[in-house]
């Protein structure tokens, strides 16, 4: 049965891509943007751009007002208690690097950082590099057969030496929700700080950082239908207070002297230099748009499409889905077919999916693979997109076998 997307027309790029005979199924990499966001960007750039927090003139005041209004919207989206707990960075990657640098002073040789075996490089390499700099032990939490962090094993591995637990909420390769709550509760009981990589999770449903009780939560605007070049770091007030400043320059300073300076607390103390102003304002507009949608319909639509995707993949001989994806995406390999060859033939037929290791090389390698194809969905996709994909897949497999 045809499953239309009631929101498809809100995303002008989808029609444009269709005119170019492209079916976009790579939203876990980045999303298309709603008209609402494009209007906000156009308004900002056509009505007068200005820098924020420094100019006393009218355009500067208006830009600052819109910028800070976005901070409030992000705080509301995550149910943070206070907008001052929201730091704007240049992406989730940059937020995670900020954390690894900001927390470095608290860690000493022999301390442990726990990450899971399925982390995106963005939530692995900053901790790995920190561990190498400080002589720390990087503990890798293993997975179960379905692609969840093995809770029993993880609870054993997170102990009194664990100073930081950094885990993804939703895997960008396996599409599995991780058992965050017991992990976070256990980490807190052990005195460890917790970092949630919400880059994929934040896009699906609403998540309440206070209820989760994490110390830090990180995501990228561009995956949440917002502009790129922008990330969000939420921190519990006390946890933000533990971070050492890491980038220095304009607007993050309290008092500057030739030999000594003092710095502002979060959020501005961690937003050195001119921030991505238009992107911040744009993210606010994207959140306004998302907040205007019927959340239940969105969840049902995404779940129905995902079931369709899994059914179609499972129906095809030789196709093996990685893990047991619960939402948003599925990665798969085909017996006897290299993922790069398959990706090439799908690309030729206008199917935009991702192939390779998905920036989670250790995970993909640990599955005995050098890559997989990933199909990822967003609220503008419909079942025709999936039918086009399946038909292209069948043709490609016929050629390759
Ligand atoms: C789970 C996860 N974490 C972090 C990132 C990094 O996000 P960005 O590249 O926007 O900084 C990604 C991007 O794919 C991701 O999927």
Determine which residue's CA is closest to atom 12 belonging to ligand 1. 199
* C-alpha closest to that of 327 among 309, 314, 351: 309
Average predicted confidence (pLDDT) for the chain: 97
**Catalytic member of 268, 359, 364, 379:** 359
214 has catalytic annotation: no
Tokens 């002297």, located at residue: 257
Helix (H, G, I), strand (E, B), or coil: what is residue 329? Answer: strand
Determine which residue's CA is closest to atom 14 belonging to ligand 1. 29
CA distance 288 to 66: 13
Q: Is 220 in the pocket of ligand 1 (CB under 6 A)?
A: yes
**302 touches 204 (CB < 8 A):** yes
CA distance 176 to 147: 6
Q: Residue 153: its pLDDT value, please? A: 98
Mean of the pLDDT values across residues 144-171? 98
Determine which residue's CA is closest to atom 7 belonging to ligand 1. 92
Domains for the chain: give ranges and CATH numbers. Answer: 8-25+294-400 (3.90.1150.10), 38-291 (3.40.640.10)
372-376 and 354-356: which strand pairing?
antiparallel
**67 touches 280 (CB < 8 A):** yes
Mean of the pLDDT values across residues 223-229? 98
Estimate to the nearest angstrom the gap between the alpha carbon of 369 and the chain centroid: 24
Statement: residue 3 has pLDDT above 90: no
**Which atom of ligand 1 lies closest to the CA of 358?**
14
Mean of the pLDDT values across residues 133-142? 98
What is the tens place of the pLDDT at every residue in 240-284? 999 999 999 999 999 999 999 999 999 999 999 999 999 999 999
Could you tell me which residues come within 8 angstroms of residue 40 by beta carbon, excluding any fewer than 6 positions away? 281, 282, 284, 285
* Residue among 359, 360, 361, 378 to mutate when testing ligand 1 (max atoms within 8 A of CB): 359
pLDDT confidence band for 56 (50 / 70 / 90): confident
Statement: residue 97 has pLDDT above 90: yes
Mean of the pLDDT values across residues 63-80? 98
* Residue among 26, 99, 117, 120 to mutate when testing ligand 1 (max atoms within 8 A of CB): 120
Helix (H, G, I), strand (E, B), or coil: what is residue 195? Answer: strand
- What angle in degrees, to the nearest 10, is found between the helix axes of 383-400 and 339-348? 120
Please give the radius of gyration of the chain, using alpha carbons only, rounded to the nearest integer.
22
CA 120 / ligand 1 centre spacing (Å): 7
Determine which residue's CA is closest to atom 15 belonging to ligand 1. 199
CA distance 305 to 307: 5
């Amino acid at each position: 049965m045809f499953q239309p997307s009631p929101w498809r027309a809100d995303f002008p790029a989808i029609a444009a891509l269709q005119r170019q005979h492209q079916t976009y199924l790579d939203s876990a990499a980045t999303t298309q943007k709603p008209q609402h966001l494009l209007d906000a960007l156009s308004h900002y750039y056509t009505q007068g751009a200005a820098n924020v927090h420094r100019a006393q003139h009218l355009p500067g005041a208006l830009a600052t007002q819109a910028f800070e209004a976005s901070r409030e919207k992000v705080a509301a989206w995550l149910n943070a208690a206070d907008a001052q707990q929201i730091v704007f960075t240049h992406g989730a990657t940059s937020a995670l690097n900020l954390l690894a640098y900001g927390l470095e002073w608290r860690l000493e040789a022999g301390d442990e950082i726990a990450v899971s075996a399925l982390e995106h490089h963005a939530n692995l390499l900053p901790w790995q590099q920190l561990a190498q700099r400080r002589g720390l032990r990087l503990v890798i939490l293993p997975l179960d057969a379905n692609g969840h962090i093995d809770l029993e094993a993880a609870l054993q591995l997170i102990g009194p030496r664990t100073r930081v637990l950094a885990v993804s909420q939703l895997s960008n390769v396996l599409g599995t929700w991780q058992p965050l709550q017991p992990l976070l509760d256990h980490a807190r009981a052990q005195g460890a700080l917790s970092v949630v990589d919400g880059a994929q999770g934040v896009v699906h449903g609403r998540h309440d950082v206070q209820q989760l009780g994490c110390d830090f939560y990180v995501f990228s605007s561009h995956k949440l239908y917002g502009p790129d070049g922008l990330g969000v770091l939420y921190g519990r007030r006390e946890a933000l207070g533990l971070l050492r400043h890491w980038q220095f320059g304009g607007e993050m300073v309290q008092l500057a002297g030739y030999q000594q300076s003092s710095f502002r607390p979060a959020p501005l103390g961690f937003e050195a230099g001119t921030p991505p102003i238009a992107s911040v304002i744009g993210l606010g507009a994207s959140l306004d748009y998302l907040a205007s949608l019927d959340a239940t319909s969105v969840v049902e639509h995404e779940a129905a499409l995902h079931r369709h995707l899994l059914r179609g993949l499972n129906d095809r001989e030789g196709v093996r889905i990685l893990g047991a994806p619960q939402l948003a995406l599925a990665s798969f390999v085909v017996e006897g077919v290299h993922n790069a060859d398959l990706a090439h033939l799908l690309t030729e037929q206008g199917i935009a999916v991702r192939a390779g290791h998905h920036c989670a090389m250790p995970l993909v390698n640990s599955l005995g693979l050098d890559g997989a194809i990933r199909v990822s969905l967003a609220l503008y996709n419909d079942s025709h997109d999936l039918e086009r994909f399946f038909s292209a897949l069948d043709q490609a497999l016929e050629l390759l076998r």
